[in-house]
Amino acid sequence: MDEFPISRVDCRHRCRSALSQGERTLVKSATELGAVAGQYEKWVYPFPIPDLDAPDVRTRRDGGDFERNWYTFWPDRPYREDLDVLVAGCGSNAAARYAFNHRKARVTGIDLSSASLAHEAYLKDKHRLDNLALHHARIEDVSSLAQDFDFIDVSGVLHHLPDPVGGLRALAGVLRPEGTIAVMIYGQWGRTGVYMLQEMSRLLGLGQSEQDVLTVKQTLASLPKRHAIQDYVSRAPDLKSARAPGSLNRKRGPTNATWQSSMEQRATFSGRRTAARSTPAR
Ligand SMILES: C[S@@+](CC[C@H](N)C(=O)[O-])C[C@H]1O[C@@H](n2cnc3c(N)ncnc32)[C@H](O)[C@@H]1O
């Protein structure tokens, strides 16, 4: 992942007022608990994009990308843009990118990380994304939005939930009957080496302190070239960044099909519940 010259602190400073003025906070107390919340509060994912209009950003596509995948998702329908879209666990950029790339869509982003939402709010403000609403909320509580959606993107999130199937059910509850949900979860085999390192971290009792992160970084740097994690590391440049926390709970953004197909599993489900299709990895 490229480095961007915007720091989380800068972003929060600029975005705090936008978030507090324009966005609703749902079930805040519940979202502030837990290691996952703590991690994404401390280290937003992915690295914040400062400008969605930059040429190198414009060429990247959204995770589920309903425009590109339209006829896979809805083979019997002509393309339209004015969808109600939910980006569940939107992180720092994804909801704003959907809103920026699809101005006629009404996009809602939810996340339990207020730091990530602060950057989404910065992008909303910068690009005047009137079609974007942001909520500090857990997927598990999505019904409290009292909205339903044509398209839901939940990318790199469900595996973090204590009950992923419960989370998927909650999302299904706000999906319209003809709607589609695009799901990306971690791919088991491509992450074999990551699981080894996670197990080591558990055995050593490592947490999220600076010292523990340093220990993980040093361990990574000392592993032999043939260790199972090296394939993952070679495809995860954000792990090598000076700004990277080195946490092995992180996923990196997609850059090529080979990596994506081994590291991630993607599927889409029609709201009609008659079809479950695999989306070709991009
Ligand atoms: C790996 S990031 C993915 C971000 C974004 N979907 C993307 O692909 O760029 C996972 C995000 O899910 C959020 N998250 C984790 N558990 C969540 C939950 N129960 N409800 C809402 N968001 C959650 C985290 O705060 C984090 O921002």
Residue pLDDT tens, the chain, 282 long? 222 222 333 333 333 333 443 344 443 334 445 888 888 998 888 889 999 999 989 887 767 889 999 999 999 999 999 999 999 999 999 999 999 999 999 999 999 999 999 999 999 999 999 999 999 999 999 999 999 999 999 999 999 999 999 999 999 999 999 999 999 998 888 889 999 999 999 999 998 889 998 999 899 999 999 999 998 888 876 676 555 443 333 333 332 222 333 456 667 666 544 333 433 332
Ligand 1 atom 26 nearest Cα: 91
pLDDT at residue number 271 = 59
pLDDT at residue number 35 = 82
Range of the domain at 165: 8-186+264-277
Determine, yes or no, domain membership for 253: no
pLDDT at residue number 263 = 53
pTM: 0.79
CA of 156 relative to ligand 1 center, distance in Å: 7
Number of domains forming the structure of the chain:
2
Q: Is the same domain home to 93 and 46?
A: yes
Ligand 1 atom 12 nearest Cα: 89
CA of 62 relative to ligand 1 center, distance in Å: 15
CA of 157 relative to ligand 1 center, distance in Å: 5
CA of 89 relative to ligand 1 center, distance in Å: 3
In terms of Cα–Cα distance, which of 162, 155, 140, 139 is closest to 268? 155
Question: Beta partners for 186?
Answer: 264
Q: Which atom of ligand 1 is nearest to the CA of 250?
A: 1
Cis peptide upstream of residue 46 (ω within 30 degrees of 0): yes
Determine, yes or no, domain membership for 96: yes
pLDDT at residue number 261 = 37
Determine, yes or no, domain membership for 246: no
Pocket test for ligand 1, best of 25, 100, 111, 238 (most atoms within 8 A of CB): 111
Please state, as a whole number, how many other Cβ atoms lie within 10 Å of the Cβ of residue 50.
17
Determine, yes or no, domain membership for 127: yes
pLDDT at residue number 234 = 87
Q: Is the same domain home to 114 and 233?
A: no
pLDDT at residue number 256 = 25
Query: What is the CATH number for 47?
Result: 3.40.50.150
Determine, yes or no, domain membership for 269: yes
CA 122 to chain centre: 17
Q: Is the same domain home to 75 and 206?
A: no
Q: Which residues form the pocket of ligand 1, taking CB atoms under 6 Å from any ligand atom?
A: 36, 40, 45-46, 63, 89-91, 94, 110-113, 116, 138-140, 155-157, 160-161, 251
Determine, yes or no, domain membership for 251: no
Measured CA distances, 37 to 7, 57, 71, 107, 255 (Å): 19, 27, 36, 23, 26
Ligand 1 atom 18 nearest Cα: 138
pLDDT at residue number 38 = 86
C-alpha atoms less than 13 angstroms from C-alpha of 49 in its C-beta half-sphere: 25
Q: Is the same domain home to 100 and 216?
A: no
pLDDT at residue number 117 = 97
Q: Is the same domain home to 110 and 235?
A: no
CA of 220 relative to ligand 1 center, distance in Å: 24
What lies within 8 Å, CB to CB, of 98 at 6+ separation is 62, 85, 87, 105, 107, 109, 132, 153
Q: Is the same domain home to 273 and 226?
A: no
CA of 76 relative to ligand 1 center, distance in Å: 31
